[in-house]
Structure 1
Amino acid sequence: MVAIPGGTFLMGSDHHYPEERPAHRVTVSPFHMDATTVTNAAFARFVAATGYVTFAERPLDPALYPGAQPAMLVPGSLVFRMTEGPVDTREIANWWHWTPGAQWRHPEGPGSDLAGREDHPVVHVAYEDAEAYAAWAGKQLPTEAEWEFAARGGLEGAEFVWGEELAPGGVHLANTWQGPFPWRNFAADGFERTAPVASYPPNGYGLYDMAGNVWQWTSDWFAARHAADPAKPCCAPTDPRGPAMEGSYDPAQPRIRIPRKVVKGGSFLCAPSYCRRYRPAARHAQMVDTGMSHIGFRCIRRDVPIIHEGDTL
């Protein structure tokens, strides 16, 4: 794990998507964070030790999904499939497909496996799966404020975790989508789907893949906007924990009343033409019961003393 020093920073953005507003001052206490997202190999050790069964491997309760077709109430998950040509990007069903049998061991569905992907981030993990792993490891999931502070790596106000340009000098510093989404990915960054963790340089705190590759769960419930700055500039909230669950629904999908957590960081599916969310301020509402082929997580610990240079153990 990597020591994150804590401090006060400007969270959110007034220049991008509405849900990132308003930019506001927040203080976070020091903590430690996993240098990488949790890998398939690490998650496999957890499952072997505990016998844990992920949400995507369990039959769905019809009472929780009224009106759902019986064929949908079987173990599975949502898998991304590239389209054959241009489509209406307002309709995500063009590329997201409910796939029976898709789960962390079979990321593209039956017939796929983890051979050669042991060091890729685990995917198809719902929120409770990430929480279960964190508890087993003696860790926690980060709040949105902790995650964003760590992602910025000490670069106050920078658009990306490494600076102001997406690909400075033509060099790709994260696993994102290059080309017209969702039907052609030129994979100029070297990867069409997930990449092994730490395939790109770390940020200023030594954290890898804080942009792109996979979205990452946080412990905060989603709200459509950030809270405004306090009336007194000196009184930035310390270690905020987000809103209550009751308001955690996506205003873009008002009929789906499943609570949502904040995910951060963007993924290999984020493209300039469709989803510029490979930025530390970016955020997205994710239903807690839904793991997908581009969502993973990393953990933190708040109970470990921060050792500074020159300190003695």
Structure 2
Amino acid sequence: MIMKNFVKSFMLVSLAIFATGCNNSRDYKSNSRATGWDLSGRDGGVSYKTDYEEQEPGPGLLFVEGGTFTMGRVQDDVMRDWNNTPTQQHVQSFYIDETEVTNVMYLEYLDWLKQVFPPSEERYKNIYTGALPDTLVWRNPLGFNENMVNNYLRHPAFHSYPVVGVNWIQATEFSQWRTDRVNEKRLADKGYTARDAYKTSSAENVFSTETYLNAPNQVYGGNDSITKGGRETDRKLRNNPDSTNVYVQRKDGELLPAYRLPTEAEWEYAALGQSSLRDYNSYRGRKKYPWDGQYTRSGDRKTIGDQRANFKQGQGDYGGIAGWSDDGADITAEVKSYEPNDYGLYDMAGNVSEWVADVYRPRVDNEYNDFNYFRGNVYTKNAITEEGKVKVLSADEVVYDTLSNGKIIARNTPGEIAQVKIGEEETYLRTQFSKSDNKNFRDGDKSSSRYYDERSTNDKDKKMYNSPDHAVTLKDGELDREFDKTSERTTLIDDNVRVYKGGSWRDRAYWLDPAQRRYFPQDMSTNDIGFRNAMSKVGSKSNKGRRTRN
């Protein structure tokens, strides 16, 4: 009897201690460590997301834990073109698409644009047509490729193939569209906006993530029945009709960071997938391809002899002899046709090369930055009206770019916030940056600077990157294209060429090395360059916190 009472008493005491510990833990998270105030938002007080755990990955993305690696270390350098600078870099954790963006993914974008901004209306015409991939990239004067011209983008047989004919600018615009559509659906699913709000978009009734965060009363054309039409927002209003915090804010953690093109460092790090070579805090050996081993054929017992990627094996040999030894593709292949790398990413070598975010330069300046290296920063801020409000673009204020090839592309869409370059208010007495456009920052050492003679910076002939300047002007409502015919140009490099990585179906195995890099004008496209999206990881470096060694 005494023993029985003792057990009961022990259990009650343990439960009390456990409950107290839980309460203390809960109080610790919901009360401010600075002031002791309640941070849960009860009784109309200030509210913070005190129970936030980890960022959710966006649709289609896989997690890549950041770390240190040697960027630009190629195994072979037969070109000897001074195109790489091996440098140790540290990359923060991020998410990246499991596969390249496919035709059906891009078609979803096109159909949305066509529905929301009908090209039959003159003021919207270039929004849709400017997003269309160039299907003529398949044509060749000595090749019969009309099948791909007519069918590759839209035929369902090619739905799961990587989209091509998309230039760098179109890829970045797709990324912005994808950001907004994903966040728009998240808000509706979580009850912050009206149910299925994302299915009722129109030119005057469109969602933008940044507009919602900065001017929520102007999103959806200012329609409160949508922005305040969700069950969660309705609950907030019932509890506190005068609340100004009914809209989701960045501090709530509900909206995902932007989809974007990966930086060159991120792409190369993800493609290498060196986790299989990790030995404590170093790598044992070097990888030539995204897979282990020095060969393009598999050495695994189950798949021995199979090609590990889709690439050009020799002159006139795009797939091998039909049958067992064939790689299964002549042009592009359906995504996931080959084994993924150690991060679970498909086609990080072969199939199509991929755009990355960086402006191309022959060397990487590791002496100045070895953390999240990227060349191409142009810092902007929201445009503010005379009334002190952010300027949300109307249908008549969309900014269009006329590219060097005459193609007209919309650089924003109605409902987005206008952007302007930062000025002295943001740069004054800064130690890290001093201007808005940093594409040419520390552009090599003195002997490889942007100008041969710094005293003649206004003389175009002294510029190192004196690339062709093809003029496109509008005369009497018609585009006038003037091809640069001068014979004095010495390079194709300028601020409008971007890096692309990874070999393609048209490339030899030499280009499958993730460290290899090439460049192409950002406003042009080919039949062997596609892209995939990335997303920054916020919070901890690891998804599971710090791990023990054993």
Q: Under a length normalisation based on structure 1, what TM-score does the superposition of the two structures give? A: 0.74
CA contact (8 A) 1:121 1:196 kept: yes
1:173 corresponds to: 308
- Please give the alpha-carbon distance, in whole angstroms, between the structure 1 residues aligned to 2:112 and 2:138: 27
Distance 1:134 1:57 in 2: 15
Instruction: Check if 1:3 corresponds to 2:133.
Output: no
1:32 aligns with 2:73: no
- Cross-structure match for 1:160: 289
SS in 1 for 2:157: coil
Name the counterpart of 1:122. 163
- Measured at CA, do residues 20 and 8 of structure 1 come closer, stay the same or move farther in structure 2, by a change above 3 Å? farther
Match of 1:92 in 2: none
Aligned pair in 2 of structure 1 residues 76, 165: CA closer, same or farther (>3 Å)?
closer
Within the candidate set 194, 210, 213, 2:332 is matched to 194
The residue that corresponds to 2:113 in the other structure is 50
> Measured at CA, do residues 81 and 206 of structure 1 come closer, stay the same or move farther in structure 2, by a change above 3 Å?
same
Structure 1: runs of 5 or more not aligned: 59-74, 85-94, 100-105
CA distance change for structure 1 residues 206 and 186 in 2, over 3 Å: closer, same or farther?
closer
Letter in 1 for 2:264: E
C-alpha change, 1:12 and 1:308, in structure 2 (3 Å) is: same
| Matched-pair contact (CA < 8 Å) for 2:354–2:500 | yes
CA distance in structure 1 between the partners assigned to 2:307 and 2:83 by the alignment: 24
Maintained 8 Å contact 1:56/1:76: no
2:65·2:542 contact (CA, 8 Å) conserved in 1?
Answer: no
Aligned length: 266
What letter matches 2:104 in structure 1?
Answer: A
Higher relative contact order (Cα pairs below 8 Å, separated by 6+ residues): 1
Cα deviation for residue 294 of structure 1 reads: 0.8
One of 255, 263, 269 as aligned partner of 2:500: 263
State the 1:142 CA deviation: 0.6
On the 8 A contact 2:172/2:260 being kept in 1, the answer is yes
Amino acid at match of 1:8: T
Shift in alpha-carbon separation, 1:146–1:255, aligned structure 2, 3 A: closer
TM-score by length of 2: 0.44
Query: How do 1:229-240 and structure 2 match up within 5 A?
Result: 229-230=366-367, 237-240=370-373
Q: Contact (CA 8 Å) 2:332, 2:352: kept in 1 or not?
A: yes
1:278 aligns to what?
A: 512
- In the aligned structure 1, how far is the partner of 2:290 from the partner of 2:139? 26
Match in the other structure for 2:490: 254
Question: Is the Cα contact below 8 Å between 1:20 and 1:226 reproduced in 2?
Answer: no
Higher alpha-carbon Rg: 2
1:145 aligns with 2:292: no
SS class of match (2:110)? helix
Shift of 1:12: 0.6
Distance 1:264 1:13 in 2: 14
Corresponding residue for 1:296? Answer: 530
**What percentage of aligned pairs have identical amino acids?**
29
**If each structure's helix is expressed as a fraction of its own residues, which one has the higher value?**
2
Q: Which residue of 2 is the match for residue 108 of structure 1? A: 148
Q: 1:144 to 1:80 in 2, by over 3 A?
A: farther
Whole-Å separation in 1 of the counterparts to 2:62 and 2:268: 15
Separation in 1, partners of 2:513, 2:172 = 24
1:149-196 per-residue CA deviation (whole Å, 9 max, x = no partner) reads 11111255311000222224432111111231xx34344211000101
For the aligned residues, what is the CA RMSD? 3.3
Greater mean deviation of Cα atoms: 29-38 or 159-168: 159-168
The alpha-carbon distance between structure 1 residues 82 and 29, as it changes in their structure 2 partners (threshold 3 A), is farther
Query: Shift of the alpha carbon at 1:76?
Result: 6.2
